[in-house]
Amino acid sequence: MPGTFKEKFMIGTRMIPKPSRRRSGLPISKVRFLVAHDTGNEKSTASQNVQYYINSCKDESASAHLFVDDKEIIECIPALTGPPEKAWHVLFNVPKDNELYGCNANDAAIGVEYCFGGNIDAEKAYAKYIWVIAKLCFQFGLDPYRDITGHFFLDPLRKTDPVTGLARSRRTYDQLLKDIVAEYQDCTGSSMQAAEIISDEGTVKVTVKLNLRSEPNKLAPVVQVLPPDSVIGYTAKTNNGEAVNNNSVWYRDTNGHWFWSGGVMMV
């Protein structure tokens, strides 16, 4: 774990009163992962969102730890500026967080909200957003490849964040994940973890258009694209490639190229 993290921005605080419906004050015993959100409220600033949460804290229960726009990063439930507390940012009865991390997001994850639209400068807001998520990874010893997920992925029937907010600034969720990794590396001076290669052999069938890459991560160059129903053999695998939808298993073919296991099925 790197020893220092580059402090590019200030983190302000404006805490939701506790105890209240939005902020119970209950501690997070161990932060296990991070959830990327957007506010869903186009043109609203970090300050406006936080103030709304404060004003309605006795009436509403939804909450998040941090709000980010082009001018400010505001923490309204402790995460980085004090011992982390629980926030209510993911619906309790959706099962995906338990499937992926073995716990409820509200009990073990930090929620970060991206503000977008209107007069908000998307470039500046995005820079702060990826920086604070990378800083949270550093603070809690999380892997920026594996320990970040989007709200839409946990609750796909109801939520589209942060995909919708990112689209307003012409960015994708996949780009967000890559940029957080790059920001983490820049702020810590670390490099990507080397993949542990395991001898293994087998044959798989491609289920979706599949990219073959020079390394087991989505930052690596694409050397070939295989169409669905192609059959390909592999001679090795790694369990610690880049996590895609929280699956970090990649296979290496006979030419030394890598492909993600989630795009294939065994034959």
**Cα 161 from chain centroid (whole Å):** 11
Q: Determine the Cα angle at 67 with ends 65 and 71, to 5°.
A: 145
150 and 201 part of one domain: no
pLDDT in tens, the chain (267 residues): 447 999 999 999 999 999 999 999 999 999 999 999 999 999 999 999 999 999 999 999 999 999 999 999 999 999 999 999 999 999 999 999 998 888 999 999 999 999 999 999 999 999 999 999 999 999 999 988 778 999 999 999 999 999 999 998 899 998 999 899 999 999 998 765 556 889 899 999 999 999 999 888 887 778 899 999 999 999 999 998 888 887 889 999 988 899 999 999 998
3-class SS letters over the chain? CCCCCCCCCCCEECCCCCCCCCCCCCECCCCCEEEEEECCCCCCCHHHHHHHHHHCCCCCCCCCCEEECCCCEEECCCCCCCCCECCCCCCCCCCHHHHHHCCCHHHHEEEEEECCCCCCCHHHHHHHHHHHHHHHHHHCCCCCCCCEEEHHHHCCCCCCCCHHHHHCCCCCHHHHHHHHHHHHHHHHCCCCCCCCEEEEEEEEEECCCEEEECCCCCCCCEEEEECCCCEEEEEEEECCCCCECCECCEEEECCCCEEEHHHEEEC
In a domain, residue 6? The reply is no
Q: Tell me, what CATH number does 226's domain have?
A: 2.30.30.40
Q: Write down the pLDDT at residue 1.
A: 43
User: 174 lies in which domain range?
Assistant: 12-188
Task: Give the span between the Cα atoms of 167 and 176, in whole angstroms.
Answer: 11
Q: Write down the pLDDT at residue 245.
A: 82
89 and 168 part of one domain: yes
Q: Write down the pLDDT at residue 193.
A: 59
Q: Write down the pLDDT at residue 192.
A: 54
Q: Write down the pLDDT at residue 180.
A: 94
Task: Give the span between the Cα atoms of 155 and 146, in whole angstroms.
Answer: 18
Number of separate domains in the chain: 2
In a domain, residue 5? The reply is no
Instruction: Report the first-to-last Cα separation within the chain, whole angstroms.
Output: 40
In a domain, residue 162? The reply is yes
In a domain, residue 7? The reply is no
Question: Which of 142, 170, 188 is at the close of a domain?
Answer: 188
In a domain, residue 95? The reply is yes
Task: Give the span between the Cα atoms of 183 and 215, in whole angstroms.
Answer: 20
Tell me if 111 sits within 8 A of 154, measured CB to CB.
Answer: no
What's the Cα-to-Cα distance from 122 to each of 3, 68, 116, 190, rounded to whole Å?
Answer: 31, 11, 7, 27
Question: The pTM is what?
Answer: 0.76
Question: Which of 163, 188, 213 is at the close of a domain?
Answer: 188
Tell me if 213 sits within 8 A of 257, measured CB to CB.
Answer: yes
In a domain, residue 3? The reply is no
121 and 180 part of one domain: yes
161 and 225 part of one domain: no
Q: Write down the pLDDT at residue 191.
A: 64
168 and 213 part of one domain: no
In a domain, residue 107? The reply is yes
Instruction: For residue 197, list its beta bridge partners.
Output: 238
In a domain, residue 4? The reply is no
